[in-house]
């Protein structure tokens, strides 16, 4: 099942994608669908079939919708750095014993076709294609099996990074939380379609040039491992997002380094999930 959040004149609305059409739901976004499904002790697909989030009008064409971030207001956005060996090597780091974590704010998220601002304060704006886990159940101190069962599904993300700001200190935060800097979407593909630890090709192109290619099967810490680890020290809730890390090929590791500029098109794709297309515009 594919679930989206789309913008309307009255706010946002969740919907179920079926082919080229979308059935609007009586829930404001995908996060609300997941919360309602948990309250009913059902999977998202079961909850929709049971009318927990019923249809809220006739089907509409997918191509005419303005898609928002798949979960516009997650309670938590957690991100993993250094989770693919080629990226670890190109950045000059040692392989970590534990996940390297940082966070984003909800206002860091961007829709799958929204314009991406190139801030005037940033000298090197970089790309990072990432598989994003969408949490579907509340978990705390979960083992691997419980963590896997808590995965609602997956979406596509790009952890666009202000490298010059990121590298000012040993902490990543200031390079990662610029408003509207991280596209995510276009939809949630539920775990009953993909499983809890799918092996999918990820790729990123900039203005037609392939910059990154990898497979999620090469993650050092896979999605169930990450959720189990994170849930040890914080409670994960329906709609929380976990960016799982990026493969090699980032702009900062090139000689000379290259980044995103005004007029570039950033295309981020994950096999069996979907594609983000974001035009870069000078801020």
Q: Convert the pLDDT of each residue in 127-174 to its tens digit.
A: 999 999 999 999 999 999 999 999 999 999 999 999 999 999 999 999
C-alpha 250/C-alpha 247 separation (Å) is 8
Q: Is residue 12 domain-shared with residue 126, that is, in the same domain?
A: no
Number of domains in the chain: 2
Domain span including residue 43: 2-66
Same domain, 77 and 55: no
Q: Is the pLDDT of residue 94 over 90?
A: no
pLDDT reading at 90 higher than 90: no
What is the pLDDT at residue 93? 84
Domain boundary among 66, 82, 98: 66
Same domain membership, residue 253 and residue 221: yes
- In terms of domains, do 112 and 53 share one? no
The Cα–Cα gap between 128 and 94 comes to 19
pTM of the model: 0.97
Domain final position from 66, 87, 119: 66
241 and 115 fall within a common domain: yes
Residues 108 and 232 in one domain: yes
Residue finishing a domain among 66, 94, 115: 66
Q: Are residues 102 and 198 in the same domain?
A: yes
Mark whether 85 and 61 lie in a shared domain: no
Residues 138 and 263 in one domain: yes
Q: Check: CB of residue 274 under 8 Å from CB of residue 162.
A: no
CATH of the domain at 143: 3.90.850.10
In this prediction, residues 264-279 reach a mean pLDDT of 98
* Same domain assignment for residues 55 and 174: no
């Amino acid at each position: 099942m594919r679930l989206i959040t789309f913008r309307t004149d009255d706010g946002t609305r969740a919907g179920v994608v079926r082919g080229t059409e979308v059935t609007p739901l009586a829930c404001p976004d995908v996060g609300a669908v997941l919360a309602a499904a948990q309250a009913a002790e059902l999977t998202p697909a079961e909850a929709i079939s049971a009318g927990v989030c019923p249809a809220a009008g006739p089907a509409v064409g997918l191509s005419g919708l303005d898609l928002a971030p798949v979960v516009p207001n997650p309670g938590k956005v957690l991100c993993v750095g250094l989770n693919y060996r080629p990226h670890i090597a190109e950045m000059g780091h040692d392989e970590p014993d534990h996940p390297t974590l940082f966070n984003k704010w909800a206002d860091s998220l961007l829709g799958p076709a929204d314009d991406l601002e190139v801030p005037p304060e940033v000298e090197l704006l970089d790309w990072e294609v990432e598989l994003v886990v969408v949490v579907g159940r509340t978990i705390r101190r979960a083992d691997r099996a419980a963590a896997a069962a808590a995965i609602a599904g997956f979406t596509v993300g790009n952890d666009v990074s202000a490298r010059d700001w990121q590298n000012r200190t040993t902490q990543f935060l200031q390079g990662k939380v610029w408003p509207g800097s991280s596209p995510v979407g276009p939809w949630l593909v539920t775990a009953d379609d993909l499983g809890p630890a799918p092996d999918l090709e990820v790729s990123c192109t900039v203005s037609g040039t392939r910059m990154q290619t990898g497979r999620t099967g090469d993650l050092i810490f896979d999605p169930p491992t990450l959720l189990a680890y994170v849930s040890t020290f914080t409670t994960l809730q329906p709609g929380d997002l976990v960016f799982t890390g990026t493969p090699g090929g980032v702009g900062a590791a090139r000689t000379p380094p290259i980044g995103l500029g005004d007029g570039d098109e950033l295309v981020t794709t994950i096999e069996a999930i979907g594609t983000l297309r974001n035009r870069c515009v000078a801020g």
